[in-house]
Amino acid sequence: MSDRIITGGRPMGKTEQSWCKAVSCGTGTTVLSLLLSKPLNITHLHNALQNLQNSHPILASKITYSSAAGAAAFSLIIPSTPVPPFKLNSFPLSSTSKLLPTSNNAVSLSHLHIIHEHEMNINPWSIPNLSSTSSSSGVPVFFGSLYELPEGKCAVVFRLHTAVCDRTTAVGVLRELKELMKEVEMENSCFGKVSLVIEDLVPVGKAKKAIWAHGLDILGYSVNSLRFTNLKFKDVSEPRCSQVVRLQLSKQDTSQILADCKLRGIKLCGALAAAGVMAAQSGQRNSGDPLQYKQNSVGNKYAIVTLTDCRTDLEPPLSSHNFGFYHSAIMTMHVVKRGETVWDLAERIYTSLSNSKLSNKHFTDMSDLNFLMCKAIENPSLTPHSSLRTSLMCVFEDTVVDNSESQFGLEDFIGCASTHGVGPSIAVFDTIRDGKLDIVFVYPSPLHSREQMGRMVEEMKRVLVEGRT
C-alpha cells in the first residue's frame, strides 16, 4: 500500500499553470450544486467526502504560489495519509435568505440557480490570496457549503479549482459521492494515487511540432482572432462575474435531436455549436428565416472551442477514475454559407473537429492555446474592446448522460465552470438527464446581459427544434 501513497508535492503542468493564472481573473472555478428536498444526514456526508478525498488525494491537495525569478509559478501540495478532515461550511436559513430574491425582483430565478451563481463568483485562489498564504499551507482546491432553504430544503455546493477538476472529474465527484452516500456504515477507503500532468502522458510523437510551426500557428490563431465575429458587448468596463442561463428540452425534442445527430454520424456537440453560430448570426440581422441566410449575412467568421477528454489517448491510458484536468482544446473557425441549414453547418463543424483530432491537434496545439490564453490575461487589449473573449462558444465533445435515480432526496443539480475572466462569450455544459436535454450556459456579465443571453438561448432552442429534416 505504501508505494501508492503520494506525499510532498509537484509543480503544476503547463495546462494546470494556465488555469491557475486564469482563475485569478475569474475563469477556472468549477461549481457543482445539489438541491435536496429533505434533510441531509450530515455525518454521512462528511464521511462520504472524507472517503472521496482518500480515494482521490488530488481533491485534498492545496495550491501554492511563488513569484520567484519574476515569474508566476504554482505548485500542488499533495497530502499524506490520513487526509485532514473535510470542512463543510454551513449557512442557516437566516444567512441564506440574504442571497435570495425579494418578491419585487423582476428576474425569476430558482433558489438553486441564485446560490450556484453566488458560489461561482467566490474566488479564494486569486494571486493576492495565494500570496498572503504561507508556502507550506497553501489554499485548498476543494470547498463545500451547505445552505438551508425554505420549505425544509437545502443546497449542497462544491467548489473546485478547474486545474484539478475537468468535466470528467466533476461528473466523477457527483457519481462517487452518490454511491458513498448510499452506505450506512462508512469504511476507510484506500489512499489513491495522483496521476501525472497531461503533458507528461501524451504519447511519444503525437505532440511533435517544429518550433517554426508553433510560431506560424500562434500567428495564425492571433491574426484570425482579429477577424472573429463577436456577440454585441453590453458593458466592457465594469467588473465581471459569471452568470447562468439554463435550457431544458422535453424527451420528445431530445430524442429527435439525438436521432438527427445519429442519422448524420455526428455528436451532439456539432449540433449545439451550429445552433449557437446560427443564433449569433441571427442577432446580426433584423429579419429572415434563422435557418437560412441571405447573401449579405455570409462572411461572419465564428470561433468554436471544443474541449475533448484525452484520458483514453494518453500513455498509459487513464480512466474516468483518474481525477485531475485531462481535457484539451481544439479551436475551429466557421463561416455560415449561403443557403446552409443548421444540420449542414453541424456536419461541417463536426467534420472539422474530427479531422483536427485525426491530425492530433488536441496535442500539437495544446501549448499554443495555453500560451495565447495566458497572453490574453496579461494583455487584455489584444482582444476586442479588452473583452478577453477568445471565441464565440465553448462546447464539450461528449455529452454527459445521467440516468441515475434520485438519491438522498436529490431534486435537482447544476454543474459548470466560470467564464468571466478569459474565454468564450458562452460556455455550454450539456447533460442528458433521464432522457431530457438539460443545458447550462455560462456567460460573463455585464459584458453580456441576462436578457441578451436569454434571447440567444431561446433562438438556439428554436433552431434545434425546428431545424429537423
Which domains, from first to last, does the chain contain? 2-198 (3.30.559.10), 200-466 (3.30.559.30)
Q: What is the DSSP letter of 446?
A: T
Spatial separation of the C-alpha atoms in residues 343 and 244, rounded to whole Å: 26
pLDDT at 445: 97
Q: Using 50, 70 and 90 to split pLDDT, how confident is the model at 235? A: very high
Provide the sign of the torsion angle of the four alpha carbons 237, 238, 242, 247, taken in this order.
negative
Does residue 8 carry a pLDDT above 70?
no
10 Å CB burial of residue 4 (0-12, 13-18, 19+) is: exposed
Whether residue 302 contacts residue 227, with contact meaning beta carbons closer than 8 Å, is answered with no
Task: With beta carbons less than 8 A apart as the criterion, state whether 345 and 336 touch.
Answer: yes
pLDDT at 285: 56
The better pLDDT of the pair 310, 371 is held by 310
- Which are the contacts of 364, defined by CB distance < 8 A and separation ≥ 6? 206, 207, 208, 209
Question: What pLDDT score does 293 carry?
Answer: 35
Most trustworthy range by pLDDT among 80-84, 104-108, 152-156, 279-283? 152-156
Question: Residue 83: its pLDDT value, please?
Answer: 75
Query: What is the arithmetic mean of pLDDT over 189-215?
Result: 77
In the prediction, which pLDDT does 214 show?
55
| Residue 123 scores a pLDDT above 60 | yes
The C-alpha atoms of residue 279 and residue 441 are separated, in whole angstroms, by 14
Position 44, amino acid: H
Mean residue pLDDT across the chain:
87
Question: Model pTM greater than 0.95?
Answer: no
Q: Which helix (H) or strand (E) holds 34?
A: strand 29-36
